[in-house]
Structure 1
Amino acid sequence: MNQDTARHFALYLTEAHSCVYLTDQLSRTLFVDPHALMDGFSYQALINKGFRRSGAHVYRPHCDHCNACVPVRIPVAAFQPNRSQRRNWQRNVAAITSVDTPACSIRAFRFVLPLSRSASS
């Protein structure tokens, strides 16, 4: 597929729900059909239009009377830490990080449950 070829995807709009970004606001979400076959060019075109991805879902906020959510793409390869960030990095150089295989555990559940409750209220 080249840039001159337009792909069309079925879009689905959710009912209004509590906004996760702005307190006391209602939000709607526009989803691309999760069963749609999408190539890299189509995906990038959607990203350029403000869509985001979470797992297999490609979506964007689509609120009736609000456009406060602005997608931001961060050019990570060009990042240059400023003085404060370099100082913070040096202070935390001894912090331990690890990468592990995702797994369900009681410890993780106890951590996530309060977060999910606050997001849904």
Structure 2
Amino acid sequence: MLTREQIIEALTLASDVGCHTRAGYAALDGWVESDVSFADIADCILNGASLACRATGLSMPEYEEWIAYSGRIRCCGTTRGKKRCKLTVASSKRYVDPRAWLEASKAGGYCEIHGG
């Protein structure tokens, strides 16, 4: 396996001849592309991390929930089967910004069934 420095060096050489580094990932309104640093690419290669998570600032489970719930906040209530409720918070707006969604998600809330 290459080292972080070797990966960054290879990417720098590619950049010197005209290659650009952009990451594409699913977002709420389709597909988003953003520039990524050579260090981010190297870290993702070495750690098996996701560039989408790096770009949004979310962990993989958080990113998957943000996409699955279309930017809405998932209810914090539990079902009779002791599983987390799959409904969304009654007053939840749609958060297009993943970092704003994460903050609101951490604040929690409940669906109409669980008292929201």
TM > 0.5: no
Q: Which has the larger radius of gyration?
A: 1
Instruction: Return the structure number with greater strand share.
Output: 1
TM-score (norm 2): 0.20
TM-score (norm 1): 0.20
Instruction: Return the structure number with greater helix share.
Output: 2
